Amino acid sequence: MNPNDLPSPWVLARRAARMNPSVIREILKVTERPGIISFAGGLPAPATFPVAEFAAASAQVLQQDGAAALQYAASEGFPALRERVAALLPWPVDPDQVLITTGSQQGLDLVAKVLLDAGSRVLVETPTYLGALQAFTPMEPQVVGVRSDDGGLNLDDLRAKAAGARFLYLLPNFQNPTGRTMGEARRAALAELAAELRLPIVEDNPYGDLWFDQPPPLPLSARLPDGSLYLGSFSKVLAPGLRLGFLVAPPALYPKLLQAKQAADLHSPGFNQRMAARVLEGDFLERHLPRIRALYRSQRDAMLAALSREMHGLDVQWNSPDGGMFLWARLPRGHSALELLPRAVDAGVAFVPGAAFYADAQDDAAAQRTLRLSFVTATAAQIDTGIAALARAIRATGPRP
Amino acid sequence: MNPNDLPSPWVLARRAARMNPSVIREILKVTERPGIISFAGGLPAPATFPVAEFAAASAQVLQQDGAAALQYAASEGFPALRERVAALLPWPVDPDQVLITTGSQQGLDLVAKVLLDAGSRVLVETPTYLGALQAFTPMEPQVVGVRSDDGGLNLDDLRAKAAGARFLYLLPNFQNPTGRTMGEARRAALAELAAELRLPIVEDNPYGDLWFDQPPPLPLSARLPDGSLYLGSFSKVLAPGLRLGFLVAPPALYPKLLQAKQAADLHSPGFNQRMAARVLEGDFLERHLPRIRALYRSQRDAMLAALSREMHGLDVQWNSPDGGMFLWARLPRGHSALELLPRAVDAGVAFVPGAAFYADAQDDAAAQRTLRLSFVTATAAQIDTGIAALARAIRATGPRP
């Protein structure tokens, strides 16, 4: 929007010109049409939300501790929740390093505020999480994509691009959008390279608990505790509607992140934090996570089977994620996912074109053939129907002339 | 903090040097000592929190609508809550202009992101809300204080300082920190002047419903709907622990604020929004607000009576707010509120030194004599004890040599 298009007297900040509507959120509006099977949104399966546990926790919190739960609270977060987070992480973390955030999206906003100046260089995977690009954009950085393959970052390209970067942002586990995971050898080499290059790492791990057969390798933050910021979320293991996430920061960075948090929203809802802390008591996650994993694995398997069956004879490629919520596919040469989308929606199915996730290569022909398919929102039966509809739309579309 | 003080490899953004711990939050830590009577925090009286109504609403929301309440949701906010906000405001507002925020503090963060470049001029009252200064600071503006008196802004000083300002930020009702309210004549003149100068207004109104004898005059936003952004809060009429506020924006500004909101935390907790919408159904506020007003009026009266009784013979001045949560006092010449504070805490009472609220005149001798006294957190009996202790501390301290 041009400031001159505004009625007097407003003048927009320069950064506002770079802030644009989320492509995904615009697509999600289309997919809300009745009857559309959506592989588009990153919406956890509502069947996994512990509604009864929340109802019990809410009643207990309000009855036993209502006044405190509804009052202003410390910006750092509710002590019992910070302690629980620290205890759940697979490396030694002091609860004083844990900052509770309003979803892990807020963690990205705080990181950008504290670490990015206009023009600062930030390295990201290719492709990467769109919400991170949106959180970084208001601080006007130069975002540089590092080449990536099925095993994660290309370390040669990382070395070539690292000079002067404020940090490398990455999702090593069941990445959004690709579903891929960085293996142990690549992590070990990356940790070594980051230490050598003095390259800080911002590690985003919302999906790490959603593994299907075995846990992913140890986080990078466990290997580089002073050189990493770690972001986690309760959105996938409890529920997104509470808006609770967390940040684990080296002691030297924590005070500035805390001040940014105070300025951003004073604190995350104390009521929600107490509910979450109560639900997480005891062995809840040990009982709950296997159910989510089993459900999502069955949905992944349904999608893989449907793809094998329905894409027969089409030169469509896809991967087989070991966890998380997303599968990554590639259309035949000459096809465009963006052009396919309206035809797919007409056929009753939606997805997100992959180009949106490329920080600096959205016009790349290879990027334009990609699509992200979420396998956790639709049921197995809907997945069968939806993938069949997608295959029909691909066949009907054909390559661009 | 100097970036060079950090262990490798982190480099802080330039703005981080301007971000500092909240003076108030640091003071609040002191006041958490057992036995301290606190006039320091802006904490609503917990007796006003509708705990039973929240418990009923929470149970209903989770039982009837649990999956939706716990899922990701629209960044704009829960439709029924946006409609309720629009209906409650005393001028015609379309629900599409309402953006639900994570407390009104987040509204200030979004406003700063969308409207402030580094070096942008922002006008504020003298003194003004410290949280606004903290929200604006990360965008590196030049904050300019406009002279103010008991009736609000000095319009001559405003005219002299308005050139090039991105906006004027003010709290016309029962202001934080002073408790003062801008009268009808000053509002009418300010609205006329703002229109003449093409000066945008950001109007913050968290306390407007907390009037004691009669409602305050119509908001400035009602007079300048296209030239104003309006911020409201549920923290004082429901409870702060839900972290729910809202922003009312002219249609031309709304899309960019929405995009900033998406990037900041995707959306405010849908569970909390549904609870609030349910509690606000029917005539709840018509029953609830009179109780808050009566309580806070009785507490204000207790503080005024205690001040008259205990400050006898001391040249201490104070005002008599018509609503809200705060009273503003001034120590005798030669005294310093900052130096008084530790002695007051030793005597068992805490307050916030007023200088923290002066954007660009914290070293001013007059500013250093001021203090903010919250009358809503302590009971009437505690107010009597606390004001007596404060008077003893003032007598014991004496003027600076």
**Chain B (77-136) residues lying within 8 Å, Cβ to Cβ, of chain A:** 101-103, 105-106, 109, 113-118, 120, 131, 134-135
Alpha-carbon distance of B394 to B391, in angstroms, equals 5
Residue corresponding to tokens 């309206």: A342
CB contact under 8 A, B10 and A200: yes
Alpha-carbon distance of A156 to A143, in angstroms, equals 18
DSSP 8-state secondary structure symbol assigned to residue A43: P
Phi, psi (degrees; rounded to nearest 5) at B376 = -105, -15
Q: Which pTM value belongs to this model?
A: 0.95
Helices (H) and strands (E) counted in chain A, each on its own, are: 14, 15
The radius of gyration computed from the CA coordinates of chain A, to the nearest angstrom, equals 21
* Sign of the alpha-carbon torsion through B159, B160, B161, B164: positive
* Sign of the alpha-carbon torsion through A190, A130, A381, A348: negative
Q: What is each CA distance from A291 to A175, A240, A244, A245, B13, in whole angstroms?
A: 21, 17, 21, 21, 43
CB contact under 8 A, B263 and A105: yes
Longest dimension (CA), chain B: 68
Alpha-carbon distance of B384 to B396, in angstroms, equals 19
CB contact under 8 A, B51 and A72: no
Best residue of A129, A259, A275, A325 to probe chain B, by most B CBs closer than 10 Å: A259
Interface contact A22, partner B, CB < 8 A: yes
Q: What is each CA distance from A4 to A10, A12, A262, B111, B274, in whole angstroms?
A: 9, 9, 34, 18, 38
Are A81 and A273 contacting, i.e. CB atoms less than 8 angstroms apart? yes
Residue B144: is it exposed, middle or buried by C-beta count within 10 angstroms (0-12/13-18/19+)?
middle
CB contact under 8 A, A105 and B265: yes
pLDDT at B22: 67
DSSP 8-state secondary structure symbol assigned to residue A39: -
Alpha-carbon distance of B130 to B22, in angstroms, equals 8
- In A12-147, beta strands by DSSP E: 37-38, 98-101, 121-125, 142-146
Contacts of B366 (CB under 8 A, 6+ apart): B330
pLDDT at A4: 44
Alpha-carbon distance of B378 to B356, in angstroms, equals 22
Nearest to A269 among B71, B255, B272 (CB): B272
- What is the residue-wise DSSP string for A204-236? E-SSTT-BSSSPPPPPHHHH-TTTEEEEEESTT
Nearest residue in A to B43, CA atom? A72
Are A227 and A193 contacting, i.e. CB atoms less than 8 angstroms apart? no
DSSP 8-state secondary structure symbol assigned to residue A115: H
* Sign of the alpha-carbon torsion through A381, A383, A386, A389: negative
Nearest residue to A221 (alpha-carbon basis) of A76, A92, A85: A92
Strand-pair partners of A152:
A149
> Tokens representing A353?
């074109």
Are B24 and B352 contacting, i.e. CB atoms less than 8 angstroms apart? yes
pLDDT in tens, B148-204: 999 999 999 999 999 999 999 999 999 999 999 999 999 999 999 999 999 999 999
Q: Hey, what domains does chain A have and what are their CATH numbers?
A: 3-49+286-397 (3.90.1150.10), 73-282 (3.40.640.10)
CB contact under 8 A, B106 and A265: yes
- Count of residues making up chain B: 401
Contacts of A301 (CB under 8 A, 6+ apart): none
Q: What is chain A's pLDDT, residue by residue, as a tens digit (401 residues)?
A: 444 455 568 999 999 988 877 666 677 677 667 889 999 988 999 999 999 999 999 999 999 999 999 999 999 999 999 999 999 999 999 999 999 999 999 999 999 999 999 999 999 999 999 999 999 999 999 999 999 999 999 999 999 999 999 999 999 999 999 999 999 999 999 999 999 999 999 999 999 999 999 999 999 999 999 999 999 999 999 999 999 999 999 999 999 999 999 999 999 999 999 999 999 999 999 999 999 999 999 999 999 999 999 999 999 999 999 999 999 999 999 999 999 999 999 999 999 999 989 988 767 888 999 999 999 999 999 999 999 999 999 999 877 65
pLDDT at B88: 96
The radius of gyration computed from the CA coordinates of chain B, to the nearest angstrom, equals 21
Count of other CB atoms within 10 angstroms of residue A92: 9
Alpha-carbon distance of B314 to B302, in angstroms, equals 19
Nearest residue in B to A255, CA atom? B21
Alpha-carbon distance of A140 to A337, in angstroms, equals 28
Q: What is chain B's pLDDT, residue by residue, as a tens digit (401 residues)?
A: 444 455 568 999 999 988 877 666 677 677 667 889 999 988 999 999 999 999 999 999 999 999 999 999 999 999 999 999 999 999 999 999 999 999 999 999 999 999 999 999 999 999 999 999 999 999 999 999 999 999 999 999 999 999 999 999 999 999 999 999 999 999 999 999 999 999 999 999 999 999 999 999 999 999 999 999 999 999 999 999 999 999 999 999 999 999 999 999 999 999 999 999 999 999 999 999 999 999 999 999 999 999 999 999 999 999 999 999 999 999 999 999 999 999 999 999 999 999 989 988 767 888 999 999 999 999 999 999 999 999 999 999 877 65
- What is the residue-wise DSSP string for B271-293? HHHHHHHHHTSTTHHHHHHHHHH
pLDDT at B121: 98
Nearest residue to A74 (alpha-carbon basis) of A52, A43, A96: A96
Phi, psi (degrees; rounded to nearest 5) at B130 = -60, -35
Are B197 and B162 contacting, i.e. CB atoms less than 8 angstroms apart? yes
Interface contact A270, partner B, CB < 8 A: yes
Residues of B whose CB is below 8 A from A250: 7, 10
Helices (DSSP H) in B166-253: which residue ranges?
184-197, 220-223
Nearest residue to A377 (alpha-carbon basis) of B79, B181, B72, B202: B72
Nearest residue to A261 (alpha-carbon basis) of A76, A70, A116, A80: A76
